[in-house]
Structures are given as structure tokens and as C-alpha cells.
A and B are shown apart, each in its own frame.
Chain A
Amino acid sequence: MSAEADLAGAGQIGTGTRGRSAKPGAKRVKGATLWFWVFVGPFTAGLLIFAVVPIIWGLILSFFESQNTVSPQHFVGFQNYVDMLKDSAFVDSLKVFTIFAIFIIPLTFALALFLAVLVNQITFMRTFFRSVFFLPTAVSYVVASLIWKQGIFNNDGLANHVTSGLGGSDQSWLSSQHPPLYWIPLVTVRLWLQLGFYMIIFLAGLQRISPDLYEAAYVDGATPGWTTFRFITFPQLRATSIAVVILNLIAAYQAFDEFYNLLGGANYGRPPLVYLYSTALGTSQQYGLGSAGAFILAIIIIIFTLIQGRIFGFGRTDD
């Protein structure tokens, strides 16, 4: 409603500046309102139906015992929240996420930045390399996971051929616990899939840096390489870097596809979403409990994002 009012206001200002009478101005306002809803309406409706309503419905369900049905059955207050927080499997899933985030965020950050700097510097076949690194982003997580599982990390897969070739023995890549080799397929598949995307974000950030800064540095005696990267490039990428870290963290919290397809929900590599999936949407069908878990997870993501924003100053006007 406020958007409508703003547009109406804009229409009046417009007519006022042209010195027309109020009547045609009112017509324009009416037209603007119509077109506003034509363009915004479908998306608003979609957002309401597919995002807002399910969130509200989920919130209601989280206070009810609802098994095998998405209708609230028995009101249990905060019991679902208490049960989830007391559930060691859910707490373990948060630990799995933490380990995953510790691996994936710094690796993605460093490698994406490295690739972006490389691609930004070359002059030969730049578009080709940019496309090659970006292409895996277009591949589905499910498809990539199946390639990793059936082609690379299965019994007769590439990984075992490489270890055999190097004189080692076959490994159970997806189930070995000592050492926990299953992290290798999990981390590498995500790296392969998302590096290109973050590389493009860094590239955009790199291309925003004014060449004047480098020229001034060279005049002052700086040499191209680590010094200019350390004192010009990296500080200038502050806003981009923070965005990459936050996006990466949220994506890591939402990790599902590769865990689900590579490990099949096994309890040693079960991040929060896989656990909530098996609680609510798997054969357990405990929608109340699953909804409570989803809200706990949402609150944790919000808190982490706010803390990060506060520490790094993401969104400040000076960025």
C-alpha cells in the first residue's frame, strides 16, 4: 500500500512540474497504479503464496504435534523447540555444518579470489577462461553429486585408480571415518560447482577498482604483485569480500543436495537441512518438529549474518 501511495505522490509531482490541470494528472495516477500492480502483482502473489504463507504456516505448525499431516493437530507450545534443542542428532548436524563451513568458506574465498585475479590479468583468451571457470555453476548439484559418487569416488572410480596408480590401496571415500575421507568428495564437489560464481563476483569487484590507484602507487614506487594486491586490490575488494563470505555462509547452512546424494542421510555427514528433511519430509513425517527445527536454524542464520554485518560493516554507506 505504501508503494502505491509513493507512486501516486510521484504522479502528482510529475503533473505539477508540467503545469497541467489536476484532472489528467489523476488519470495518470490511476494508470500508474494499474501498471504497478500488473508488474508487481504476480510477484507479490507468488511471494505470498510460496514464501510468506508457508513461513507463517510453518510457524503455526512448529507449536503443534503434526505427524503425517500438515494440519495442526495437538498444541504443544514450545515443546517441539525444546525437543529439537535437546536432540543430540540435531545438535550434531549443527557441528557437521560448522566443520563444513570451516573447510568450504576459506577455500572458496581464497580460490575464487585467486582465479579472479588470474583471469583479470590475462589478456589472451580471457573470455574463454572466464566461461570455462563459470560453466560448472550451470550444473545441477544432484547431477554433479552423482558424477562424484558413481564416476570418481566409487569402488572402481577415478580416485581409487589414482591411489592404486600411486601405490596406495583402495579407499572407501564416502564412508571412511578414520580418517574422515568423506569430506573430500563433499568439499570438492561444492568447490567445483560454486568457484566460478564467486570468481565472477570478485571479477566484477576487481574491475571496479580505479586504475588511477595503481598508477599512483607505481609513481610512489610500489611494484606490481603482492604489494599492490595487499595494499590496494584486497582493501578495495572489502565490500565484495564480505558479500562473498556472507553468501557462502548462508549457502553452507543450506547445504543439502551433495550431502543427501553422496551420503544418503548417514548420521556422520548430516547437516541441518538433511536432518530436518528426514524429520519432516522423510518417512517420519513430523512436520511440527521439523518446522521448529527450521525456525531454530533460521534464527541461527540471522544471528550469524547480523554479527558478521556488525563486525565487517557490510552495508555501511561508505562501502
Chain B
Amino acid sequence: MPAFNPPISRRSILSGAGGVAALAALGATAGCGSGGSKDLSQWYHQYGEDGTKQAAMRYASDYKKAKKVGVKVQWTPGDYATVLSKGLLGNKGPDCFESQLNYTMVKSKQIIPLDDIIDPVKSDFNPSDLAPNTIDGKVYGIKMIDDPQIFYYRKSMFTKAGVQVPATLNDLVATAKKLTSGKVKGIYAGAQSDSGLSALTTSAIFASGHTNLTADNKDVDYDNDDVAEAISLLHQIRSDKSVLTGAATDWTNPQTFLDGKCAIQWCGLWAMPQIQKALNDDFGIFAFPAVGSKGKQVVYNGGWTQFVAAKSKKQSKAKDYVKWLWIEQSALQEDWSLSYGFHIPPRKSLAAKAKKLQSGPPADVVKLANEHGFGDNPYWTPDVGQPQTDAVTNIVLKGKDAKKELDAAAKKSREALKKQ
């Protein structure tokens, strides 16, 4: 269910089938509308939930019926971020597309502000969905869905091992160790070569009471003892051999968890319907636990946002379509958020009437996301973040000194920040 790729995994190029998929993506245009050059081109990454591609094409088809403007939907398997980056270089890319905002997109004039279409309904958007898409007072993207990421756990496995839901990262390390037995591992965080533990980095930093960047976005805030402790604990999970490696599906897909190969899996709200259907009540969720004395439990709230490309020759038409689909058509927005995987609608009015999210484990996730959620920072660009990713790999996999690695990485991140 790759409904969301966090910044780190987006940078980590891709693993496995992505290589083929990225190439296949070049030809993976799913036609909608007339297919002529007058059509708008809209790019999506490949959502894992059944029915999403057909839904995206149906929305395009509905638009053609309503406004007589065709929309070609490109459904992109594999490394969407890289394919999109290349698409935005020339004038053959998308007219509108989904992504996550980063500052370089604005600096290099890849996208245009959308204030005129969002202004009338701005107050209906959750402020935490507006802030990550605002630079210098201008809103550049319309948030489509919110995707909180949490740990899913098997209640029966916890009972059998006699363990409780961990309250701190230290507890999680110990719990994962107790749950590991033979081929069944305590925890699974992804198929990346670093055992997926880099997917947890941002959450671990925030759970230690810090952030990637300081409040003014002028400096980094990850080169300190608290973060060093957090990343060292991720290393311990690995050195304890409590983490599953080399699984066939990535962390965004709950299949490894459903197959009973791990007791805990890092995943997102999108996987909830699939997990509920397969396991009934034999599962629960918990947020990323607190690290150290200043720490707090946190929920990383990802998701996808709609943009209009600055190089589009049909900017005005693209804006009209984005406005129609992501501002006006609340029924379609609800369908996109709740009919396939589960996502929290960014519109307050829609979130309030999302019944599927108002009871049981989905409601627990929504509550945790509301109380402990944090989102992306557009100034945390790939250039600034890459040294941190490398440092985390050195700590988690190679067991290098955490503070030294983070200090060295922070120096490089600061240089990259100066160039912004």
C-alpha cells in the first residue's frame, strides 16, 4: 500500500522491482479522455490499494463529462519521485501532479502558487495541512490526503511473549527482542538495505524532543545527544537481530505483518482496511514511542499534495481541474480518502463526517495523529537531508559512533542550507 513515501525513502532511490518499474513508468500512461494534445496530463504515483487507479481515471472521466476537458492520467509504478523530477525538467511533463512540497521546487520555479483557488475554503483546511505547503505566505499545493504512520502489532503474539505495548523506544527495543523467535522477528520497518530503519529516523528525532530543522529553518537540530541516543537505539534493534531483513514486500505494504513474519510492523493508516479484514481484532496500533527524558510519543503525518506545474502550457486549465477535483468535489475527495485504503481528509468538514474513521483502531490512529502528529518541512530538502540519511546508515548498520556521525552530517547539512 505505498500510499506514501517519506522523504528519506524517496531519496533512497529505490529497491527491488523499482528499477524495472521506473522504466516501465515511462510508458505507463493510462489514457483517459480523448488522448489528444489538448488533454491535461495528471501524474500519480502507484497507490497500492485496489481500485485507486480506476478511481483516478473515473474522476478524470467525470471531469470531461462535466467540463468537456480531457485529462490523461499517468499512473507511475516504482520510483515516482525520480520520474517526476525528470518530467518537471522539460515541457513534456505533467500539467498537474501529486507530490510533497520542498523549497527547491519553488526556488527553481517548477510550481505555481494556488492561493486564488484555495483562499475561499482555506479555513476548512486543517492548519497542519496548510503550513507544509506554504512558502513566503503563498500556498503552493492542495493537500489531498493525510497519512499518519504508526506501528501495528499482533495482540496474540504480545500475549504469548508476555509483553506490553512499549511506552519508550528503550521498551520497544526490549519488546522486539522478546518477540523474536526463530524466523519470526520482533519488528519490521522495511525492505531497504538498512533494514528499513531509516524510515523511522524522522520519527525517532521528533520523539527525542528535537526536529530536523530549527523553528526558523536556518539551522539543523539533529546533532545532539538526544538524537544520538535515539539513533543508537535503532542500531540496537538491528544488532539484537530483532528486525526482519530481506522481506519480499516493503513497509508500506502490510503483507509481511499479515503473514506473521513479524510481531510489529511500521506502516500507515492506509493499510488499516486490509489488516482489519485479515486479522479482525488480533491487532492494535501504537505511536512512535518517546526517547529519553525530554521525549514524547509522535506520529509522522505524511500524505500527498496536488500541484500545478509552472512549465505547463495549460496552467489555467490545470488549475481549473485541481480546483474542481480537490476543492469543489467533496464526494470524490471522500471517495479517495475512505473507499480504498484509509486516509484522513485534510478538509475539516470531511474529516468530521468520516464515519469509517470514528470507531475502533482507525479512530485511535486519528486521535494519536491529532494529538501527537507532525508533518513535513519544505525546507528539509533532499540536499539538506542526504548527509543525515548517510549518517543514520553508518550508525544503524555499521555501528559507528552516533554523535560523531551526526555532528559530521550536520556540518554538511548546514552547508546545503546556506545554499538554499
Chain A positions near chain B (C-beta within 8 angstroms): 65, 67-70, 89, 142-143, 145-146, 149-150, 153-157, 170, 172-175, 177-178, 182, 257, 260-269, 274, 277-278, 281-286
Q: Which residues of A contact B219 (CB under 8 A)?
A: none
Given the known A-B contacts A170-B183, A282-B11, A282-B13, are A261 and B386 also in contact in the complex, defined by CB atoms under 8 Å? no
Considering the complex, give the chain B residue whose CB is closest to the CB of A274.
Answer: B13
Is the beta-carbon distance between B192 and A68 smaller than 8 angstroms?
A: no
Give CA–CA (A155, B110) in the complex, Å.
41
- Whether B13 contacts A68 by the Cβ 8 Å rule is no
Listed by A's residue number, 29 A-B pairs whose Cβ atoms lie within 8 Å are: A67-B104, A68-B108, A68-B110, A89-B390, A142-B23, A145-B19, A146-B17, A146-B20, A154-B247, A154-B248, A155-B246, A156-B248, A172-B245, A172-B246, A175-B193, A175-B397, A177-B397, A178-B398, A257-B19, A260-B14, A261-B18, A263-B15, A264-B16, A264-B192, A266-B397, A268-B398, A278-B13, A282-B382, A284-B383
> Which residue on chain B has the smallest CB distance to residue A73?
B108
Range of interface residues on B (Cβ < 8 Å): 35 or more
The answer to whether B108 touches A283, judged by C-beta atoms less than 8 angstroms apart, is no
Contact A281 B82 (CB under 8 A): yes
Q: Which residues of A have CB within 8 Å of B394?
A: 267
Q: Which residues of B contact A70 (CB under 8 A)?
A: 89
B residues near A, CB below 8 A?
A: 10-20, 23, 81-82, 85-86, 88-89, 104-105, 107-108, 110, 183, 192-195, 244-248, 261, 382-383, 386-387, 389-390, 393-394, 397-399, 419
Expressed in whole angstroms, the Cα–Cα distance for A61 and B183 within the complex equals 51
- Smallest CB gap from A170: residue in B: B183
Report, nearest first, the 8 A-B pairs whose CB atoms are least far apart.
A68-B108, A264-B15, A265-B13, A155-B246, A172-B245, A154-B246, A266-B193, A283-B382
Name the CB-closest residue of B to A145.
B19
Indicate if the CB atoms of B246 and A174 lie closer than 8 Å.
Answer: yes
In the bound complex, residues from chain B placing their C-beta under 8 Å from that of A172 are 195, 245-246
- Output the nearest chain A residue to B20 by Cβ-Cβ distance: A142
The chain A residue with its CB closest to the CB of B192 is: A264
Contact partner, A153, options B19, B195, B246, Cβ 8 Å = B246
Question: Once the chains bind, are A264 and B193 in contact (CB under 8 Å)?
Answer: yes
The answer to whether A260 and B390 touch across the interface, beta carbons within 8 angstroms, is: no
CB-CB under 8 A from A261, the residues of chain B are 15-16, 18-19
Is B397 touching A285 in the complex (CB atoms < 8 A)?
A: no
B382 lies within 8 A of A284 (CB):
yes
Min C-beta distance of A230 to chain B, whole Å: 43
Q: Which of A68, A142, A153, A267 is most buried by chain B, counting CB atoms within 10 A of its CB?
A: A267
- Which residues of A have CB within 8 Å of B86? 281
Report yes or no: B89 in contact with A282, Cβ–Cβ below 8 A. Answer: no
Q: B13, A260: Cβ atoms under 8 Å?
A: yes
Q: A146-B19, A182-B193, A266-B192 are in contact. Are A277 and B13 (CB under 8 A)?
A: yes
In chain B, what residue has the closest Cβ to A143?
B20
Given contacts A260-B13, A268-B397, is CB(A283)–CB(B245) below 8 Å?
A: no
Contact status A268-B393, CB under 8 Å: yes
Task: Specify which of B13, B23, B389 lies most central, judged by the most chain A CB atoms within 10 Å of its CB.
Answer: B13
- Cβ–Cβ < 8 Å partners of B393 in chain A: 266-268
Verify B10–A263 contact, CB threshold 8 A. Answer: no
Cα–Cα distance between A231 and B106 once the two chains are bound (Å): 68
* CB proximity of B394 to chain A, nearest CB, Å: 7
A149 to B81, CA, bound (A): 23
| Chain B residues whose C-beta falls within 8 Å of the C-beta of A262 in the assembled complex | 193
Cβ contacts under 8 Å, B397 to chain A: 175, 177, 266, 268
Contact with B19, one of A142, A155, A177 (Cβ below 8 angstroms): A142
Query: Cβ of A155 and Cβ of B13 under 8 Å apart?
Result: no
What CA separation (Å) do A269 and B246 show in the bound complex? 16
Among A142, A172, A260, A269, chain B packs the most CB atoms within 10 A around the CB of A172
| B85 and A283 within 8 A (CB) | yes
Q: Which of B10, B19, B192 contacts A283 (CB 8 A)?
A: B10
Q: Which residue of A lies closest to B89 (CB)?
A: A70
Residue of chain B at shortest CB distance from A164 = B183
Q: How far is the CA of A284 from the CA of B81 in the complex (A)?
A: 10
For the complex, what is the distance from the CA of A142 to the CA of B393, rounded to whole Å?
A: 24
Task: Tell me the bound Cα distance from A265 to B82 in angstroms.
Answer: 13
Query: Cβ of B81: which chain A residues have Cβ within 8 Å of it?
Result: 282-283
Residues of A within 8 A of B85 (CB): 68, 281-283, 285
Residues of chain A with a CB closer than 8 A to B20's CB? 142-143, 146
Report chain A residues within 8 Å CB of B104: 67-68, 285
Contact partner, A173, options B11, B17, B246, B248, Cβ 8 Å = B246
Complex CA–CA separation, A227 to B398 (angstroms): 47
Other A-B pairs beyond A177-B398, A262-B193, 6, CB < 8 Å: A67-B107, A68-B88, A155-B248, A260-B14, A281-B86, A284-B382
CB-based nearest A residue for B383: A284
B19 touches A69 (CB 8 A): no
- Complex-state Cα separation, A257 to B22, whole angstroms: 13
Most chain B CB within a 10 A radius of its CB, from A68, A89, A170, A260: A68
Q: Name the distance in Å between A155's Cβ and chain B's nearest Cβ.
A: 4
- Residues of B near A68 (CB, < 8 A) are 85, 88-89, 104-105, 107-108, 110
B245 touches A175 (CB 8 A): yes
Given contacts A264-B192, A268-B398, A283-B85, A150 and B13 within 8 Å (CB-CB): no
Q: Which of chain A's residues has its CB closest to B90's CB? A: A70
Chain B residue, CB-CB nearest to A153: B246
Contacts of A154 in B (CB 8 A): 246-248
Given contacts A261-B19, A266-B393, A267-B393, contact A175 B12 (CB under 8 A): no
What are the residues of chain B within 8 A of A282 when measuring CB–CB? 11, 13, 81-82, 85, 382
Query: Once the chains are docked, how many angstroms separate the CA of A284 from the CA of B102?
Result: 11
CA distance A172 to B244 in the complex (A): 9
In angstroms, Cα B23 to Cα A146, docked, is: 14
